Amino acid sequence: MLSEEVIHSFNLKGEIMPLPGGQNTSVRVNNAVLKPVEDVQHSERLLTIIDSLNPHGYRLSKPVRSNKGTFVSEGWICTQFEHGQEVNGLVKEKLQASRLFHHDLSTILVSNLPQVVDNAWAKAHRIAWQTAELPKEVHIETRQIITELLLKVRLQEDYTLQVVHADLAGNILFDEVLPPLIIDFSPTIAPVEYAEAILVCDCIAWQGSKASEIDVLPNHEFYKEMVIRAVVFRLAVEAIFSGKDFDRFIQQYRLFKPIVDYIDKQHSRYL
């Protein structure tokens, strides 16, 4: 629970207003947003990265230091409140903001990224990049679907890796006047094209964009690989949570299947 001590540690005072979205744990106090975190060291290093960026053409909710000089105070972080609304679709606009953000992130040394918490999403990234296997408890038909998807791609010898935001589709907010706002930094180390593919695939599967929006990405084989790996990532997350419940998994698969079908039909465009 958020205490008065935490609020005062960020030199804040005022009414505590719960904010919708995410895990419904964030609150607003005046022009600041406070959110609980589990891993203090991870959050400190992550917010140090965000604090080091100087955005142009997009906005970030910059972190606020506590009166102890840290970004985390008794398990809570504080960021500046920024105006913005989540909008479904707008794939081109989101991709533009993503590219500006990732251009700035390219200056961050991969070694500076804190070790990622080993959660379902981190495991799913490894599955998508074929450095880890699906859990044994996953339903056999779920396993077959993901295995067949990975047969469509081949690991290359070299990839250009950098720190990327792997969950942008619902975390770019828009304002009528201000540039797009990027929130809830979900970092991983991967090609920037992988992050772009996740963004576009999520807009299609979860936000009602057409499968043809895949065409906003460059039409060559490398992006096809990234799209397939992006789909595998999302399905692997669902597989981990679904376990033996194939009916639950298949609901998510049906949302992403039009993307795979579109890629297969347009395969010649990527050759």
Domain residue ranges in the chain: 4-82, 91-268
The whole-angstrom separation of Cα 77 and Cα 36 is: 6
Say which amino acid occupies 90: L
- Topology agreement, domain 4-82 and domain 91-268: no
Residue identified by tokens 């970030």 is 60
Residue of 158, 228, 153, 163 lying closest to 192 (CA atoms)? 163
pLDDT of residue 215: 96
Other Cβ atoms within 10 Å of 115 Cβ, number: 10
pLDDT of residue 157: 87
pLDDT of residue 19: 86
76 forms bridges with which residues in the sheet?
36, 73
The whole-angstrom separation of Cα 227 and Cα 84 is: 28
| The total number of residues written for the chain in this structure | 271
Q: Which pair of tokens denotes residue 33?
A: 């947003």
pLDDT of residue 271: 43
DSSP 3-state assignment of 7? helix
Other Cβ atoms within 10 Å of 118 Cβ, number: 9
Tens-of-pLDDT digits for all 271 residues of the chain?
888 999 999 999 989 999 876 677 889 999 999 999 988 988 999 999 999 999 999 999 999 999 999 999 999 999 999 999 999 999 999 999 999 999 999 999 988 777 766 899 999 999 999 999 999 999 999 999 999 999 999 999 899 999 999 999 999 999 999 999 999 899 999 999 999 999 999 999 999 999 999 999 998 899 999 999 999 999 999 999 999 999 999 999 999 999 999 999 876 544 4
Backbone angles phi, psi at 16, to 5 degrees: -90, 120
CATH placement of domain 91-268: 3.90.1200.10
| Residues 206 and 200: beta-carbon distance below 8 Å | no
Say which amino acid occupies 34: L
Q: Which pair of tokens denotes residue 112?
A: 């500076």
Q: Which pair of tokens denotes residue 175?
A: 């304002």
How does strand 27-29 pair with strand 32-36?
A: antiparallel
Q: Which pair of tokens denotes residue 180?
A: 């797009």
CATH placement of domain 4-82: 3.30.200
